A and B are shown apart, each in its own frame.
Chain A
């Protein structure tokens, strides 16, 4: 038989026991294992006492069992004409009981009216006010029993009036600006002038009780780094770099630029452009260092920008032992090149292909006369692929003697002459900017 008794005396906020049925109460069972919830019917106190049994038909009844460690919450409130979700309760509280193996749980209860919420804020940056745990929840000890006031527990709303109303926070930023907001995690403010400010934050509950936090903050000048350049940037090609510095630029003394940690351009104005040519494969770093007058003297504001370079796939054709020999002469952007690919396509089909991390040249024998497409692709260390296709019209010219190098006698081989088509296509197949996760395709026609 399910028979667990919960009982106790109920006291008001002055510590005086209620004498009759002034208090309403309701019991909540919460099963830990699956979150099952069961409220019993609302009851009235009797002689200032509460008394209920888990096995009552309006609670778990005799058809259920409980597990050790499950919870019972009992909510109490006055006046007894109102429901638990009423926003005008006079006093209220709840107790929480861990159900173990006892047959009777005796706990005294104290109801309480409005109490001040508890503020918990911090400030950061220039200037952000962080709500790091402001709460209206209350907990106190009465007759050695923890008493609580809270909006919800285990996903169940206990007392609606414990929630914060709209416009419950008032922030005096100290510069004559006063904001009234809903309670949220973060508030930011921009001061028009640098200087010291005193912030006062007040959070009100529905009972108009409030907590207060105060902060002394310094709002310094706001300098924001920025640098723009035209994409793409190639090795051995000059590019223009344009500052995009914003904020209190009138405080800036000058700007320096470090190329790969080497001070290269110094004493520039905050909006002065410069040209730079990279002569080694990338990526490269440009650090922008701004010297400006702050409230406490001169200070630096730095930011580093990464410049990713583009590659251009290219090759030359030379005479090999038994046929043409293709030699890579690509322009490398973000090195090193991790993969070289060569392929030959005839009648739309790949008839030969090789790839390796060091295959800078490749020799191939034309199989017959006709139109061949030679494909060359390179992949840089960031996984970006660049490619090139050239078309050769191979015509029978004469017969000669070749050697396959496998030992023994000679090999009669037909030799061909080829004619490179005048229009070449340079294609960057894919480029992944890992920083921005952008994918772009670029096609360039050469000659």
Chain B
């Protein structure tokens, strides 16, 4: 899995829950950035300031948003949108508004007929300086 902005879409079989084979970082520039994070399980620990790869389903909020808030402070992200191919709908995660239990807090990886789809998503940074986030 390369780092950077490559959008990974379909077909990865990601061992779970504890074998994390894929690692990476991405630098979010100000404005829109297209991302994909191939992590099925795990979360960001605000106490430990790092990812914990337990049985928690990795979602945008607990894996990405909490990481950014912890490392850079709140108010750095305007919105994150992913677009599902099945029904052609957006999932719209709005920081400080969208409930963590909402479907709009989308999974980073979905199970689609026994194969795993890594969700590509658009994220809009309000930070004037790049935000480096990592996974794995």
Contacts and interface: CB of A to CB of B under 8 A. Distances in A.
Interface string B82-124: 0100011110101001110111100000000000000000101
Contact of A103 (B79, B98, B99, B104): B79
A56 B87 CA distance: 9
Contact of B103 (A3, A46, A103): A46
B102 A57 contact: no
Contacts of B104: 7, 46, 51
Contacts of B94: 5, 7, 51, 104, 106
Given A7-B97, A47-B102, A55 B79 contact: no
Interface residues of A, number: 21
B67 interface: no
* Consensus secondary structure, chain B interface: loop
A51 B87 contact: no
B78 interface: yes
A3 B79 CA distance: 11
B90 A53 contact: yes
A62 interface: yes
B62 interface: no
B81 A46 contact: no
A288 interface: no
Nearest to A55: B90
Given A56-B88, A57-B88, A103 B124 contact: yes
Nearest to B92: A5
A379 to B, nearest CB: 77
A61 B104 CA distance: 18
B97 A56 contact: no
Contacts of B103: 46
B81 A5 contact: yes
Size category of the binding interface on chain B: 10 to 19
B98 A7 contact: yes
A222 to B, nearest CB: 66
A275 B58 CA distance: 106
Given A51-B92, A56-B89, A3 B81 contact: yes
B97 A47 contact: no
Interface string B121-132: 010100000000
A5 B99 contact: no
Given A47-B101, A103-B79, 20 more contacts: A1-B83, A3-B83, A5-B81, A5-B94, A7-B92, A7-B94, A7-B98, A46-B104, A47-B102, A49-B102, A51-B94, A51-B98, A52-B92, A55-B83, A56-B88, A103-B78, A103-B124, A104-B78, A106-B94, A106-B97
Interface of B: 78-79, 81, 83, 87-90, 92, 94, 97-99, 101-104, 122, 124
23 contacts: A1-B83, A1-B122, A3-B81, A5-B92, A5-B94, A7-B97, A7-B98, A7-B104, A46-B99, A46-B103, A47-B99, A47-B101, A49-B98, A49-B99, A51-B92, A52-B92, A53-B92, A56-B88, A56-B89, A61-B88, A62-B88, A104-B79, A106-B94
